Amino acid sequence: MSKDDINEALITKLNQLNEVAAERNQSLAQMSLAWVLREEKVTSALIGASSVDQIKENVKALKLMTFSKEELKTIDKIVKE
C-alpha cells in the first residue's frame, strides 16, 4: 500500500471496522485474523508480526473466533461501501 492509497474513505472504513472490533473487545488486528480464519478453506494466516508482543496480541484473536450474523453483515457493508 502506498501513500496514494490512503484517503478519507479508507480511513473512515478503518475507523468503522475498529468500532466493530472494539464492540467485540478485540483490536482491529485480532478481529481481522478471526475474520480470515473463520473460513474452513483457510488453514493459516500470515500475521507479519515484528515482535513477540505483536504475536501475543494476535494470538488473542483465538479467544473469539465466532461472529454473529449482524457483525458479519456490518463488516460486509463497511468493506463494500
Kindly state the cell numbers that stand for 25: 473487545
Angle ∠(67,76,35) on CA atoms, nearest 5: 40
Q: Which domain holds residue 54?
A: 3-80
Over 90: is that where the pLDDT of 74 sits? yes
Total domain count, the chain: 1
- Answer yes or no: pTM beyond 0.75: yes
Q: What confidence tens digit (pLDDT) does each residue in 3-35 have?
A: 888 999 999 999 999 999 999 999 999 999 999
* Burial status of residue 31 (CB atoms within 10 A of its CB: 0-12, 13-18, 19 or more): buried
